[in-house]
Amino acid sequence: MEWDKEASSRLENVPIFVRRLARSKIEKHAREKGKNVVTVEDVEGAKANFMGTGNDKGSKGVINANPLSLDLNAGDDKFEILKRSDEYEVEDGYPAMYHIDICRGEDVECPFLIAGVKGLLQKIKNRLKEIEFSKKLINRIEGKILPHQRLKIAIASCPNCCSQPQIRDFGIHVRAKIFVDKDVECNGCGNCLRVCKEGAIRISGLSNKPQEETEENTHTSHSENNRRDVTINYDRCVHCGLCAEVCPTGTIKTEKKCYRVMIGGKLGRHPRFADDLIDFTDESEVIRALDVCVDAILNEKKEKRFGELVRKIGIEEFKRRLRDKEYTTPKRPNNKEVHY
């Protein structure tokens, strides 16, 4: 598609690593208008459509025409850009400043599902609403609010983590904490070896290679006390609970169903995996962990992505605050309220 001289000049001002994307957006905008030549008006129109910035005309004509710039002074709507997100929701008259993803395990009868998470999802929403998280976060953000300034939460029903809690601000997944009951003798069936994807289980007297299990395996010697000893390498085990489900004797059992909590994960230019905050806990402690994280967000003087905030404060400090039962959220500054 042809470009006139002024439009081409504007495109040269776009950073080279996004120039191709900018060109395609602008040309699409021009084609939708039935044009064969791209003009500066098309550049400005693509800017408005793509970034929600609007036109800005002065005595020298159209200015600020970079189609990928964020003109945070254009328009009076603080939530103008946020509204363009597919995840935009309104809560009590304010845009919800969080987004929660959950896996579909409960809806599709997933064979790996340990426990449903819809109940926990609602408790988290109720807690954020109770403490007016959205309202308080909006009040402390200057200028227009961007989608990445929301708190990203993900909950998964098993360690497969289909909702990707490892790369969210606040990630949770269900665990089935397992153990070996030494009072129940293993019959050497090898079911647990076959189902464990982590290679975390060993049984004395067996080859521990289920794919090669043959009749020869069944005749290998037992341990000295004539028992097959089952051991679990907890450094490898992810506590999916599948071994306990297929154990016919009950040698491997599930102690309880609980939650793992991770914080500070993110993608972007400098991605990072979330740090483990709690290995095994219940719903009440998950909510307390959420309170500690929300408090850190609302009391940070300089706005940061939560992943960067976790790196700055340190995961050990978050653990200390969580352990400290006397820890209470400090008083937050009285920000000027923003009405929606």
- Who contacts 47 (Cβ-Cβ below 8 Å, separation ≥6)? 53, 64, 65, 66, 67, 68, 69
Cα–Cα distance between 290 and 284 in angstroms, integer?
Answer: 10
What's the CA dihedral at 265, 266, 272, 274 to 10 degrees?
Answer: 10
- The token pair that represents 172 in the structure block: 């949770």
How confident is the prediction along the chain (340 residues), in pLDDT tens digits per residue? 889 988 888 888 887 767 888 888 898 888 888 888 999 888 888 877 655 444 444 433 444 444 444 444 445 678 888 888 778 888 888 899 999 999 988 898 899 999 999 999 999 999 999 999 999 999 888 888 888 899 999 999 999 999 999 999 999 999 999 999 999 999 999 999 999 999 999 998 776 554 444 344 433 444 455 678 999 999 999 999 999 999 999 999 998 899 999 999 998 888 999 999 999 999 999 999 999 999 999 998 777 789 999 999 999 999 999 998 666 654 444 444 444 3
Cα–Cα distance between 300 and 334 in angstroms, integer?
Answer: 14
Question: Which residues are bridge partners to 202 per DSSP?
Answer: 231
With residue 203 as reference, give the H or E element that holds it. Answer: strand 201-203
- The token pair that represents 265 in the structure block: 């994960």
Cα–Cα distance between 117 and 42 in angstroms, integer?
Answer: 47
Residue type, 22: A
| Strands (DSSP E) found in 30-110 | 37-38, 57-58, 61-62, 90-91, 94-95, 98-102
Nearest-5° Cα angle at 277, 275 to 243: 90
| Strands (DSSP E) found in 42-141 | 57-58, 61-62, 90-91, 94-95, 98-102
- The token pair that represents 45 in the structure block: 């129109």
Cα–Cα distance between 254 and 258 in angstroms, integer?
Answer: 11
Give the CATH architecture of domain 182-250. 2-Layer Sandwich (3.30)
- The CATH number of the structural domain formed by 2-62 is 1.10.8.550
Q: What pLDDT is recorded for position 248?
A: 95
Strands 94-95 and 90-91: antiparallel
Q: What pLDDT is recorded for position 292?
A: 96
**In the chain, domain spans:** 2-62, 82-174+270-323, 182-250
With residue 172 as reference, give the H or E element that holds it. Answer: strand 170-180
Question: Which residues are bridge partners to 57 per DSSP?
Answer: 62
H-type alpha helices, 52-115: 105-108
- The CATH number of the structural domain formed by 82-174+270-323 is 3.30.413.10
Cα–Cα distance between 254 and 72 in angstroms, integer?
Answer: 53
Q: Work out the burial of residue 184: count CB atoms within 10 Å of its CB; fewer than 13 is exposed, 13-18 middle, 19 or more buried.
A: middle
Q: What pLDDT is recorded for position 214?
A: 37
Phi, psi of 155 (to 5 degrees): -130, 135
Angle at which helices 40-51 and 5-12 pack, to 10 degrees?
Answer: 40
pTM over 0.85: no
For the beta carbon of residue 87, count every other beta carbon within 10 angstroms: 13
- The token pair that represents 220 in the structure block: 């290998």
The sign one gets for the Cα dihedral 196, 200, 205, 209 is positive
Cα–Cα distance between 126 and 307 in angstroms, integer?
Answer: 24
With residue 153 as reference, give the H or E element that holds it. Answer: strand 151-156
Cα–Cα distance between 95 and 89 in angstroms, integer?
Answer: 6
- Contact of 230 with 186, CB cutoff 8 Å: yes
Length of the chain (residues): 340
